[in-house]
Structures are given as C-alpha cells and as structure tokens.
Structure 1
C-alpha cells in the first residue's frame, strides 16, 4: 500500500504517528488529537502528493523523505503525549528534537521525624512525612553535603546513632556524640538550623570553606586544603549567578531555549524559597544541514521529559522564556502525573521577566562557547570518515572482562564533550564466551533505552563479528544509532599484541556492508576512538577485579574449618547476601550457628579486613 492510500485510511481518533523513509528507517514521531487532520496537514494533493507549503524548512525536508506511515490509536490526547514521549526516547527518530538530560537529579533531604537527623542525598520520593527536600542539583550536591559535614558537627554516619558509644568522629570534634547523650535534642536542632543555613545561602558556605582552606594551608595540611578548593569550585558551578532574590518564598522551575542557525541550547533554573537552588544546561543536537529548530517542539520535549520522572519537590509555577502552543496539554499531563495543577507561564514584566532575561543571557554565552569548542570539528570529521547522516555527539563504548570464566562483567562508558561518569554502567553477566557476553551486555543496555535514551554512536571493543551482532540488536529495536568497532590487528587468527607493533583496525557500516579501516597512529579520529575503548577496558577491569575479590571471599567461606557448604547455605537463606553475613554481629550469627562457629566467622572477617 502506497503512502497516499495510507493517508486515506487515517482515523478520526487521538494517537501517535510514525514516518519512515524508503529504507524503513524511522524519520519522525508525532502525536495528534485527531490523527486524520494532523497527518494530512503535512501534505498537499495537487494532484501529486507533495509537502505542504507552510512547513518549516526542517519538516519540509523530512516530508520529502517520507515513503510510509504507521499510527497507533490511543483513548485521548493525554495518552498520546505520554506514548509519543516514550517512543521518541527509545527510538531516536532522525527528525525529532532529542534531549539527553531527562534523568532525575539528586536532592538533599533531611528527615525531621528523627531525634538527631542527618542531611542525605536522594533521587527518589521518600514515603515518610515531615521530610524536607532541597534541590534539584545537577552538580555540587555531594560537595555541598561533604562541606557541611566538615563545618557542622552533625551525626556523621547513619550507623553512628545506632551505636552505644562515642566513636572517632567525636574524638576529632566532628560529632557531639548523641549516642552517649552528650548533646540534647534542642541543642542538636540548632546545629541542624546552622547546616540548613548553608544550603539556603551558598555564598555563606563558600566563605566558610575559604576560611577553612586557609586554616589548613597555614597548618601545612595541603592535601585537605586542595580538597576544599575543588569543592568550592564545584559548588560555585552548581548555579548561575543571578544576583537577585525573588523577594518571595516561591518555588519556581524555569526553562529557556535559544537557537542560532542549527545550534540550540536549553537552560533550566530551579528556584526554591525564592532563591536560585541550582541550574543546568544541555545543547540540543541537530544535523549540520538543519536550517532551524522548532522552538515549540523543543520546549514541549524538555518539559515533558523532566516531569515524566518522580520528583520529590514540585514548583508552584513553571516559567518559560517563549510562548508555546501545547501549554494546556502539558499542564494537563503534569496534573495527571502529580495530582497537582501547575501553571506554565511566560512572564512579561517584573522579577520573573528579569530572571528569564538572565537565562537568555546564559543561553547566548553557552552558544558562544560551543562555537569555540575544539571537539566540534572532530565530531564532524567522524561524520565524514564514516559517511554518517548526522554528526555524533554522544558515544557509548562497551567492553567485557573475565578470568577463566570467573567474575564475568560488562562495562559501558559514556562520552558527551567529556566522559560522563554518572552514566557509566557495570553489568554482571551470565554468558561464558565473548560473543554471548557482548550480546548480553548490549541487550541489557537496549532494555534501558526508555529511561536512558540511546546515544548517537556505539563503539564496540571487538571486530567484524561483534559489529554485526551490535547491528542486529540495533535493527531489532528500530533505533537510529551508528556503530563502529575497534579491534587489534590479527595475525594467524591471534591478536598481534607485540609491544609497539599492535595496530588497531576500525570496522564500520556503509550501505549495508561492513568495511575495514586502518588509520595512522597519529590520526586524531583513531586516537579518540582508542580513548573511548581504553576507558571502557579500564572500567571493565576495575569492576572485574572487585567482583573477583568478592567471589574469592565467598568461596573462601567454604574453606573455613567448621563452616561447610550446608552452613553457608543456611546463612545465605537467612541473611540473603554474603555482604549481609559479613556485616552481621555475634547475636545475629548465633540465630543460625552455634557460638563457636559464630565466633569463628567473626574472627575470619576481622582478619580479612586487617
């Protein structure tokens, strides 16, 4: 059935539509209140089927490539919005605007139900009441928390308050030992207020840290001073300096997008109790030949992506720097998600208009900095080298590691302008051979596409066979994703690893074929791919060694005289994991073992740590 015949069959229902090119590649996903009306608006019938006249240059180009169409009917437009967002994140259509940073951000929280509460970090909504949240923080949350514990003598560890006697933290004046009753609840509450004051006022925290850093330097404690210096830098980076206070106690989220030619940037700012808590940004990636960006679509994607997560702290209003068409739909989506009405506003005057201008100014600066980035030309070179449709910006590289079948692990490292450590992943694997291990690793990654969308390119540590495997996995899930593989040169079917003579061979796809490429060692493109491969290898080896040590510890349990396999099984049934067995006290172990065996086990772990 050709495209024109498919258009005639469109229903009058709400739903999601998908455009495909002549090769069956997904071009675009959209939603509609009435599929028939929305999809037909892209075309004109005069009498030949052509793109409609009023389309943006980007969408006009896309429609010229459309050869087939599919759709999914849903009960209402709200469901269409949710399905559209989910499919775009998973499948990465060529012409949709793709935003990377839709993950949940960390929050600092304090549980005020406790007698001696601590500040901690979470990404989840906690079930208990009377919990106060601060954030979200894109960076700097851990540094803020560590700095506060450096300055304020709160209970330093969760386990401390459960203890019966004062520990080292009390001896070094970092805790007042509530475990021994050395501080009252009322006096401890004053310490909590002091700590919260540093969260509300980061400048006050930075001033205190600078003073502490100078104190350490004067005492020749240079390593500690350097740690504080790095923390100060991280805390300062965690927010845009607005130099303003809203003079209210409002919680506001702000989204601003600015585009120049084919480059665009999104800035988010989070105001809590009238003050800027944190901010972050993302570049919106486009093909080099895209003439412009659909601002309306960019805002919709950014807001829906962010509020599609469970959030501990919601704003009273969402501010946007431009008017958008789908404002009411998004407000309804948020209401359905959180059972709370939150207005989306484009302020025209006053303080809120001023902070919109601050966000726009930061967009201008970020776009200027991107234009000077040395990485941009490298990404363009990779596009030309591998004959890609779009310029890759985000990369994921995979490697596996094991020793004689033991502690088999997979590893994924992520690069976007730099290594994104928070997006690195480890996988414990069941598979025994290299091919099956890579298959298991990639399948595990594919299963997480809905939560963490696919990158622009996969780099596989392996040769032609593993590249074909990765291609088959990619094609099976319909995602738009380029793949290359890098492997050591093989002589007589063995990797040629003699020092100084091992060459790296790159394998890549072109028009359905797998091609082989040898580049000079000095080639920047090869060096970049090698850097990704080497980091993946390091990450895999590090995790493998950790798992191997863990396995060795577990196996050695069976070798303790008097603790046989039957007793180990009983311990596992009761405690669940070897870590829980290791952390158990004498009383807990005596629930399963006699006192002699329990002491034997305690002494074993004590000697192991020593």
Structure 2
C-alpha cells in the first residue's frame, strides 16, 4: 500500500482542461482510467481527503504509485479516449466499464429497406454505420434533437409493419420527427438519401448542412415567411448544439503516429499519439536534450531514428502514416528506410487541415503541458535549485553564494517604444513582487548597449541613493548598529525600495551588453556585483572584457537556471513593450492640450469628424462643441492651430515613443 501524498502532483501542475487520467501501480501497469471536464478539479478530489473516498476508490489510490493525464479539446474527446483506453488496457479498477454495456453507439441500419436510427450496444452488425460511443443520456438527447432536422425512421420493425397495415403512421410521424415512409409520405430512395445525410452530418460534415439551413432561413426572411425562418433558425441552433468537432476519433482505416514538440534553446518535449484503427491506442512523451546548431528538421530526423530504429522494433509497430509538424531532413530516404522495416509504404507528411491537423493541435497541447510540468518540477525542486546555484558560483568563480540574481532585458521594435525589464530571483525562486520595468527615451534609446547602460545605471543609482539616505537617517538617530542590521524590520522596507543589491546581474545578450552593464557599475563605483551575459543562439555565458565565453554543459542545472531567468525577463519586457506600443498607437495631438481629457477629446472629434478639421477651426467654432468652453477652446487653438507645432511634441512622437515618459 502506498501513500497517495507520495505521488500527488504539486499545486498548479495539473491543467484545468478536459482530459483523461491514468493511475499506474509500482510496476507501471494502468489500474484505473478516468475522464474529467476539469482535470485539476477531478484529480484533486482523489487526494484532498482519501479517508472520505468510497472503499473501491480508497483502495485504488493506495494501490497506485503514480498518476498521468492527457489533455484533449472537449468532454466528448475525453469520453472517446477514456472508452478506447479502458478497452485497450482493461484496468482492474474499471470493472464496471470492461464490457460494451457502458457506452452505447448511435447506429444507422443502412442495409434495411427503410434505414433506422437507433441506440445500439454489443456486437456490430453488417450494413450498419456506428457513431460514438456516447454516454446514455447524451446519446438520447442527440438523437432526439437530430430527428427534427433529419426525420429518419427510428421505430422498431413491429411498429413499422403495423403502420404499413393500418395506413396510419406512429406518433413520431404525427409530430414530424419521422418522414413516415411506412405510409408513403416519402419514397424509399428519398428516405435512404435522408438517412445518408444523417450519417454525413454525424461523420463530420456539419458545416455543409448548417450553411444550407442558414441560406434557406435567409431566403425565408426575404419572402417574409417568418414562421418558416423561425423553424429553420431553431434547426440551425439544434445542429450547432449537437455537433462537436471530434479530433480524437478518425476514420476507421487510419493508422498513424502523430508527433508534436514544444521546445526551447536547450530541450524539447516530444509527444506522440499512436492511432490504430482510427482510435488512439497509446501515448508517449519524453524530454530530449537538443543538439547544438541542430535545426527542427534535424530534430525530427533524429527522433524518427530513435523511435523506429531500435533493434527490437516490430514490423507492425510502424504505421502507414507518420504526421509531424515539420518534414525531417532527408525525409524521402527516411520514408524508404522505414518502409523497408515495415514491409510497406510509409508516408511522412505534415497535416495542413482537417481532423488530423486538429488532432496534432491536441498532441501539441500535451507537449506544451509536458514542457511546463518538466520546467516547474525542475525549478521547484530544492536540491536542483541548490545544485544550480552552486554550479553557477563555481563556473563563474564567485566568492559569495548567489543569494540574489537580477536579470535585465531590452525590448523594442526598430528602436521605437524602447523598454527594459528587471526580474529578481532569490534562492533560485522568482520574486515577482520585486520585478521592475523601465521606459527608455532620448539618447539612451539609440541602441541596445546604450539602453542597457541606462537601465543598469538607473537601478543602481537608486540603490546608492537609498543606501545613503538610510545611513543619514541612522546617523541622525544615533543608532550606528542599525547600519548592519539584518532584522525584518530594517531589511524588508529596504528590499521593497531596491536598496538590497544582487550578487549577480544577468543581461540578455553577448559581449556588447555585458560590457555596457559593467561600465555602468564601474561608473557608480560598485565593484562587488558580478555581471554576466547569456547569448541566445548558443547559450554562451559571457563575462566583461572577455575574449572567450564560459561554456556550461548543456545538461548543467546552472545553465537551465540562467535560461529560465533570461526567458522570464524577456517575457516581462515583451509584455510591457506591447502595452506601451498599444498606448502609443492610440496617441493623439489632443493629448498635449492642457485640461483636455478623454471625454472632451471624444466630444471634440465627434463634433468635427477629424483632427484635421479641429486644427482648422477657429476659437468660435471650437466653442460650439459640447463641453468645450472659451478657455479650453483657446488652449486647443493655441496648441494645434498655431503652426502645427504640437505634432512634433515628445508626447505624440511615434518614432521615439516619448509619449510614455
């Protein structure tokens, strides 16, 4: 018996998407498969209070040793995948779901004279098309809704024969949920065509039927036949409600492996769904270390060789199709090689549209979740964090432990709206409350090195000013011992104002950015703060005035830590830059008019129609606008009409981004 707390996922690791989860025992065998609309909510219920679980569930969570999950696009996809994996793995704690009595199918008996729509279970019959599986309640509601649009026969053979003998249809015929072929209201050929339309809709061609009904509805409105338009509107709503795109189940003859990847500069999280007979029969996921200078095409070639080139690779384990986001390098030779192993043709391609492309999106979502989970577990592990900090200290030959690291990044678009970000990490953990952002203007916005020099200077100038202010305050009070106090009462206020310096400054960039940061610190007389730069392409660590970079092993925890800090600084800078750029794009020359708020700007532009007309208006004409008095009108005239000087004012200069000063 295991303790569920020993394998419980950490808070925030479980996504809130729909999906299927699997409990495994200590030997890796799947002992339970379940589905959920919200994976986090469902899985947390197993661990919140195990003592309050039902006896069977209590036994399952104590028998299990791990839990995994796969996200999908909808509840229906989760249902399909759960059913497939229960049938595939026969988990011991899914006893109630091992036979075909749990999930019914929606079946259309196309082999009969008058095809019939019905709910069926158990063995499949020849000449009958099946859709599903569904839950019992959902399939009844689906069938009842669709019969109003596709009134295919749904009665039993006995009811059909009685209606034929009596010449009167059953109740469904009277309420227009059956076309009543039994009494000749529709011919045999037309009824079969109606049944085929039903099958086409359930097979994924919903858009065609919905578009057709919408055109008929529009035509009815034009002809003022509002009752018919209302009926068609209700039919459209019904079809849209019923149809839910299903990316999990493909055509029954589909045999494919569908790959997706989420990657950064060092690692790649790979996910593959194994589709056999149109259903997902398995899923694999792993994180690989990327090779330096390798392209995405090279990555896929190496993956194909590793996945399918094992000595114990079975011939029937290679499918007819391998779907990837990007064609591998030399994919023609790779297809020929795999075809030789399989004994048949193997097609490697990139899906562009349709169900396979939609399923690849689901696989990609799982790869993204796997990468986030991998990084969060690496960052959240105390041992890993300690190892990363120790590796960095040793590699950079620093005398002091790296208790605090600050990382700076510059963001702009062709020199406009230049901003910088600063993120803080203490003991390997991000301190988001101490993040800062900087707007950079004037000469400092000329290039990245000038911007980096400016932001480092501003940050540490504040540090020195606050340090001097605190020293003066302590000397005035006569408590000299407080200068070296480390209690929370003295340290915390200083941290909130950034009087607490870092041990290491990391800049996003190479030699120019590192040297600029070092010059800024030297200019302020700060010598006890180390500076490094992390170049993106090869993940090289640069030191000031160094001809060669420090090369950390690609599996180094210290390099992973630097990469996470750099990526976080980049994310924070990009967010601020986009906000600043968006505000600058909506800037107006009226922003420089004293006393002109947003409401009065709107009233003025609404009255005249454009800024050009406002500029050409006289003071008397400006007063006619709602809310514009003589004083404000004169201010508008002086600012805009007098030679257009306001257009060159820094507050509206779109090229330099001065508007956000």
Larger RCO of the pair (alpha carbons < 8 Å, separation 6+):
1
Rg comparison, structure with higher value = 2
User: Scaled by the length of structure 2, what TM-score is found?
Assistant: 0.28
Higher relative strand content: 1
Higher relative helix content: 2
